[in-house]
C-alpha cells in the first residue's frame, strides 16, 4: 500500500463521519427504512463500516451499532453524532479562520448563525431545543464511557456529599454514588437543562437549578466539574475555580474530569482534536496537568493530584 494511505484516510474521514450522521438522522439504527431513492447505497456503506450486517435480504444492527448507535441503548452516542453533525461539523469547516482569528465560530443553529448562513431548513427555536437534547444525550453517552473510571481514580470514601457542577445528565454524580453509596449526590445546572437532568437521574440526585457564576453553590464537601473548564479561557477558569474554592469547607475537594494533554504537548491526538473543537465552539481549550495544577493552586487549593484513567476523560483531585 502506498505511503499516501494515511493522508488519504485523513482526507476521506469526513465521508465516514457523514455516512454515520446520515444513518443516525434517518433512524437506520432504530430499524427504520425510510422510502428513499438511494437507501440501499447508504445501507451497503454502513455495512462496509461494520455498522450493519446483511441477513438474507435485510440489514440489521451489528453488536457495535446496537450498543452505541441505537437511541434507546444506555450507552448510546447517537445524540452526540446528531449534535456533532448539526452544530460542530459546520464550524470545523471554518477552522482555518478560527485559527487565524483565535475565536470561536458562529453556532450554525443559533438564530444569528441560521440567518448568516442562510440555513433555511432549520427553524430557530425548535432546532435549538433538539440540539440541547442531542448535546446532553451526547455528553451522557461519552460520560458513560469514562465516568466510572473517573469515580474510581481516587479514594473518595471520606467525603459525605458531592455536587456535580454543570453536571448535565448527572452521569458523573451517578457513577460516584454507584461506587460510594453512602454519599449524597446532587447536580447543579442551568435551569433549562434541569428537566433533562431529571430524566436521567431517576430521583437519585438532588437537582439544583442555578448559574455557576452568579448563584450560591449548594453545600457539599466534594464538588465535581466535568468538561466545564475546557469551555473557558484562563480568566473564566479562575473566576469559577475561586467560587468553588470559597464554597468548599476546609479539607473539601474538587474532582475535575477533563481530557488532559501530555505535559510536553505531544498528545494524545484526541485531546488535541478536542482542543481545536473548543476553539471553533467555545472560548476554551484543552490543557496539560501542569496548566490545571497552576490554575488550581492559583485560587488556593493546597494539594492537586492527577490520574490518567485510560478512558477519554482523566481525573484531577484538588484539596482545599
Ligand X SMILES: C[S@@+](CC[C@H](N)C(=O)[O-])C[C@H]1O[C@@H](n2cnc3c(N)ncnc32)[C@H](O)[C@@H]1O
**In the complex, which residues of this chain contact ligand X (CB under 6 A)?**
139, 143, 166-168, 172, 189-190, 193, 211-213, 226-228, 231, 257
Could you give the maximum distance between any two Cα atoms of the chain, in Å?
65
Catalytic residue among 171, 182, 230, 272, which?
Answer: 230
Nearest-10 crossing angle of helices 171-179, 124-152 = 20
Nearer to ligand X, 43 or 244 (CB): 244
Least separation, in Å, of the C-beta of 89 and ligand X? 17
Least separation, in Å, of the C-beta of 68 and ligand X? 16
Can 171 be counted among the known catalytic residues? no
Query: Residue by residue, what is the 3-state secondary structure of 198-258?
Result: HHHHCCCCEEEECCCCCCCCCCCCEEEEECCHHHCCHHHHHHHHHHHHHHCCCCCEEEEEE
Of 115, 141, 144, give the one whose Cα is nearest residue 127: 115
Nearer to ligand X, 4 or 213 (CB): 213
Least separation, in Å, of the C-beta of 110 and ligand X? 15
Nearer to ligand X, 108 or 143 (CB): 143
> Taking the mean position of all CA atoms in its chain, how far away is CA 79?
11
User: Facing residues of 25 across strands?
Assistant: none
Least separation, in Å, of the C-beta of 188 and ligand X? 6
Taking the C-alpha atoms of residue 227 and residue 286, their distance in angstroms, rounded to an integer, is 10
Nearer to ligand X, 116 or 192 (CB): 192
Taking the C-alpha atoms of residue 66 and residue 75, their distance in angstroms, rounded to an integer, is 10
Least separation, in Å, of the C-beta of 171 and ligand X? 6
3-class DSSP state of 305:
strand
Q: Strands 287-288, 260-261: parallel, antiparallel or unpaired by DSSP? A: parallel
Rounded alpha-carbon distances, angstroms, from residue 247 to 53, 151, 209, 215, 291: 53, 21, 17, 11, 22
What φ, ψ does residue 245 adopt, rounded to 5°? -60, -45
Least separation, in Å, of the C-beta of 14 and ligand X? 23
> Taking the mean position of all CA atoms in its chain, how far away is CA 311?
13
Nearer to ligand X, 174 or 295 (CB): 174
The DSSP secondary-structure symbol of 282 reads: S
C-alpha cell at 87: 452544530
Nearer to ligand X, 114 or 136 (CB): 136
Looking at the annotation, which residues are catalytic? 230
Amino acid at each position: 500500500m502506498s505511503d499516501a494511505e494515511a493522508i488519504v484516510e485523513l482526507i476521506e474521514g469526513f465521508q465516514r463521519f457523514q455516512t454515520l450522521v446520515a444513518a443516525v438522522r434517518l433512524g437506520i439504527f432504530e430499524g427504520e427504512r425510510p422510502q428513499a431513492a438511494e437507501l440501499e447505497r447508504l445501507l451497503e456503506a454502513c455495512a462496509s463500516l461494520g455498522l450493519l450486517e446483511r441477513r438474507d435480504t435485510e440489514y440489521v444492527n451489528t453488536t457495535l451499532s446496537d450498543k452505541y448507535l441505537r437511541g434507546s441503548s444506555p450507552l448510546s452516542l447517537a445524540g452526540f453524532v446528531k449534535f456533532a453533525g448539526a452544530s460542530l461539523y459546520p464550524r470545523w469547516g471554518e477552522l482555518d479562520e478560527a485559527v487565524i482569528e483565535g475565536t470561536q465560530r458562529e453556532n450554525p443553529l443559533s438564530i444569528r448563525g441560521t440567518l448568516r448562513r442562510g440555513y433555511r431548513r432549520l427553524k430557530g427555536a425548535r432546532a435549538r431545543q433538539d440540539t440541547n437534547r442531542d448535546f446532553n444525550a451526547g455528553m451522557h453517552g461519552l460520560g458513560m464511557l469514562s465516568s466510572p473510571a473517573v469515580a474510581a481514580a481516587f479514594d473518595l470514601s471520606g467525603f459525605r456529599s458531592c455536587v456535580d457542577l454543570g453536571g448535565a445528565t448527572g452521569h458523573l454524580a451517578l457513577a460516584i454514588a454507584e461506587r460510594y453509596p453512602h454519599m449524597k449526590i446532587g447536580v447543579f445546572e442551568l435551569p433549562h437543562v434541569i428537566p433533562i437532568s431529571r430524566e436521567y437521574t431517576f430521583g437519585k440526585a438532588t437537582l439544583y437549578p442555578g448559574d455557576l457564576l452568579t448563584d450560591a453553590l449548594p453545600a457539599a464537601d466534594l464538588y465535581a466539574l466535568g468538561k466545564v473548564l475546557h469551555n473557558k479561557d484562563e480568566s473564566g477558569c479562575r473566576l469559577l475555580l475561586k467560587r468553588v474554592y470559597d464554597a468548599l469547607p476546609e479539607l473539601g475537594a474538587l474532582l475535575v474530569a477533563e481530557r488532559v494533554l501530555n505535559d510536553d504537548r505531544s498528545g494524545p491526538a484526541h485531546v488535541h482534536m478536542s482542543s481545536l473543537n473548543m476553539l471553533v465552539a467555545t472560548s476554551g481549550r484543552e490543557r496539560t496537568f501542569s496548566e490545571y495544577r497552576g490554575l488550581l493552586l492559583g485560587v488556593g487549593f493546597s494539594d492537586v493530584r492527577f490520574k490518567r484513567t485510560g478512558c477519554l476523560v482523566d481525573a484531577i483531585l484538588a484539596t482545599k
